[in-house]
Copies of this chain bind each other. A is one copy, B any other.
Amino acid sequence: MCPYRKRPLWRLLLPFVLVMGVMFAVAGVAAAQDTTPPDNEALASSINIIWVLVAGFLVFFMQAGFAMVEGGFCRAKNVGNLMLKNLTDFAVGSLLFFAIGYALMFGSDRAGLFGTDGWFLSSLGFDDGFDWAFFMYQLVFAATAATIVSGAVAERLKVSSYLIYTVFISGLIYPVVGHWIWGGGWLAQMGMIDFAGSTVVHSVGGWAGLAGALVLGPRIGKFNKDGSSNVIPGHSLTLAALGVFILWFGWFGFNPGSTLSGLNGSIGYIAFTTNLAAAAAAVSALIIQWVRGGRPSVEMALNGALAGLVAITAGCAVVTPFAALLIGLLAGGIVILCLWLIERVLRVDDPVGAVAVHAGCGMFGTLMVGLLANPEVMAFTQVTWGQPGLFYGGGFGQLGVQALGVLAVAVWAFGSSFVLFWVMNKVYGIRVSAKEELEGLDISEHGTIGYPEFGPVVVAQRGERVMPGTPA
């Protein structure tokens, strides 16, 4: 019935329609003539663009995974703050990587250290559609490095400090490392193999997180006077598990997508090694912790899966299936060892275990490439840089390059982040007050509550709200 009611309106518009219709018709004819099937080059280009884009979308979705893992492993009084940080590091990172980061990472090389042109993507044109897909793919990687940090500094870092930090990691710290290893810089020239970024992405995030956690100090209640530490349980195991599933899902874009080509026939193989290592690490972390603690730990199995994913990221395209299995099995132990070292030896409070997972297993996975890079696999996956690992007759050369890369990135990422957090802390203080921390950052920083209807939230007569964690 409705269309008839509207026909008078349409009649009023008739003159408009006639004038514009001619223009439209001309364009339509031009479009209709384009019926020649595309040539092989065009088809290949489309396949590459689609593959890189879809993989990049999956990597984008890892932002949701990190948000859920960090939210789930932290307390309810800080979830709004964590959600905001995970959203804004991607948003701010998108702007910074667009304006500066991409140019620093992929611009013309200045002595192997950083790129120097292409600011605001001025180097990208409308003649090659792949460039834009490539940018999107690189952007979501930069954002992954940035968002790792929010877990390590959770529950006590001011949102303003986090925003400033995000500008630096997206606009300087990450792109410089990216240039070194993926942008033709000095480590690339030496043949360092970090296929999908155990070091470029995960270690950078992990080291920056360690720097932030060190400058901040531990949360109130984490360590006792006698030096022992307490478990501060997260508020939702379901959200944490959902986050791990999302991250695992996204990693199928992260690693296989790093071929940067849909025509590379090995993308299924890379998905396979990625998955095998993740599975092995989840099982080994579960069993090791079961033996250690007498119970199968949900949290440790979740962290184990992430540990395996981070560890295989460097070598996913250069190792055999059994090597992937080995890397996974060991990663499940490495993450437990690192968690212990960081909490009990270094006495650093990393609420979600980000440093152990991303810096610890990132380093481990990168070094394993120096041992296990297999020439047959490299030929299959078209990894044309670097040398075979020590176990395949490659000598100590590749291992040395990997170690040098790990070390250089650790020094740069940890050093620059530490300086940044330290200076910010001196200038105006990056940590919320004890009162605000006890009350929760959602109330103190944002004036909101994550779950106003759940938990022992008391809305007192005078309008004061008391959240879990507040001393009675």
Contact = CB atoms under 8 A, between A and B. Distances in A.
A91 interface: yes
A43 interface: yes
Contacts of A132: 266, 268-269, 271-272
B190 A79 contact: no
A199 to B, nearest CB: 16
B45 A283 contact: no
A64 B245 contact: yes
Given A129-B269, A298-B81, A2 B172 contact: yes
Nearest to A449: B233
A10 B179 CA distance: 14
Interface string A331-367: 0000000000000000000000000000000000000
Contact of A295 (B13, B44, B283, B446): B446
B47 A43 contact: yes
A230 interface: no
B238 A450 contact: yes
A452 to B, nearest CB: 5
A278 B91 CA distance: 7
Given A136-B271, A186-B17, A245 B283 contact: no
Contacts of A54: 50, 54
B449 A57 contact: no
A111 B43 CA distance: 39
Contact of A176 (B2, B81, B128): B2
Interface in A35-88: 37-47, 49-54, 56-58, 60-61, 63-64, 67-68, 71, 75-76, 79-81, 83-84, 86-88
A51 B46 CA distance: 10
